[in-house]
Every structure is written in structure tokens, then in C-alpha cells.
Structure 1
Amino acid sequence: MVRLFVFLAAAQLVLVVLALISCLAADRVRAMPRVLWVLVILLLPLLGPLAYFLWGRPLPTSGEGLVRRPRRPASPDDDPDFLRSMDTEQSRRDREILAQWEAELRAREPEPEPEPERPEPGPRGRDEVRDGDEKGPRPPASGV
């Protein structure tokens, strides 16, 4: 029996919350002013929300319930135009900061002196004497 009571109390709470949200979000309500509907919903725990859904909620006109109005983005990060403008603005700022850092770095550090060129070692042949190899070229292998 306690479980049934908890379930019904939760259902009643959900009904009250849904009725309040519906009443406060609606453009207009029927039968009574909005303030009275809110009071009825809050003061009559089960009957108030049911009465609002039956008599206070506005009826959709023909086709109004099926056609949705185009919605504007809820937050800036949902708006593609805003994101595009932020991307270009941020890129410009990043380029300016990078150019400024490069100029400061060039001003702080002197030009590096060029290193002298080192001769590159030639290719090593098969018969070439290697460093530390004093025996000379190896004789060809004999097939015994």
C-alpha cells in the first residue's frame, strides 16, 4: 500500500510540474487569467492540473499543432553564423599575436652566425681501407 501511495504522489507531482510549465509557457490560456490558473494548479493538488489540461489549456487552431515555427538557436554555440564569425575573428587575433611574438623574438636574439661548411665524406667502396682497418682489402673468397 505504501508503494502505491508513493507512486501516486510522484504522479501528482509530475502533473503539477507539467501543468505549471504549460500554463506559464503558453501564449494565452482559456477560461481564466493565467494567475488564477497558477493558483488553482497549486492549491488543488490533483484537480487543479487536470482542470487546467481540460479547460485552461489553449486549443490548437487548424494546422497550428502540426507546423512548428523555425526556432532561433538557443545558445551562441548552436548558431553557425556566430561560430563562423568567432573562427575568423579568433584566427585574425592569433595571427596578430604570432606576428608580435616573432618580432619580439627577433629583437631579443642576435642573428646566428653561419656554421662553416664541413666536407662530406665520400661513399665507401668495398675495397676501401676503413679507419682502424690496417690490413687492407680482403682477398676474394676461394671456393674449396
Structure 2
Amino acid sequence: MLRYLPFLLVLALWIYAFIDCLNTPESKVRGLPKVVWVIVILLFGEVLIGPIAWLVAGKQRQPGTGGGSTPSEWHRNHSSAKWIAPDDNPEFLRSLKEENKKDEALLKDWEADLRRREEELRRKEGEAKNGPEDTPPAAKG
């Protein structure tokens, strides 16, 4: 079992470097284009030259942004990304007000259309009961 351990460690490093290279944005890649780094990692992976070269020289790394940082360090490093709750966001609240105005205008149009249709139905019912010649004048409303 122990004789397979070096092979598994090399394979794990190879896979890690390959996935790290693929997930790294083009702007953070140093030295060579990203595609060339992928080829170097794949071609020289079994002798560890490719993955080690990628980890040492291929990617810009920032100190103190690792996974082991404290929450206050993380907050300091990520303070440029401000997140605002929807009920505190003035743009979101303004968009809600605009949507409400549109909905109210649509509702008024529907109500006016409904009143007009009801009035037409009342006239038709009145004509059917009284006959076309006895039709009372339309109510003003």
C-alpha cells in the first residue's frame, strides 16, 4: 500500500495544479498564456515540473487571503464588495415604487374597461326587456 503513496501524491498534485490553472482568471496568470500553462502542467505532470512551476511562478498570489484567515481579515480583504439588503437599497425601493405605479395604472385601466363592459351589458339587457324603441337614455356616469 505504501508503494502507491508517491504515485497518488504526484497524481493529486497534478490534478490540483490542473484544476487551479483552469479556474484562475486570465488576468491573474503570470509568465505564459493560460493555455500554455495547461499544456505544461499536462505534459510535465508526471515528473512534477509542470505542477510545481505553475504553483510557484504561474499564478499571482496575494498574501493573507488564504482559507485560514480570521473573519476580520476576510472582511478587510473583501470590504470592497458591499452588499446591501433589498429593504435598505434605494434603487430596489425605487424600482418597487415604479412597478407599483405601473400596476396601479393597469388596474385603473382594467376597472374602466370593466365599467364600460358592464354598462354595455346593462344597455343590451335594457334593449332586450323594453324593446329597441323604448330604450331609455343612457345614464351619465
TM-score by length of 2: 0.49
Q: Which has the larger radius of gyration?
A: 1
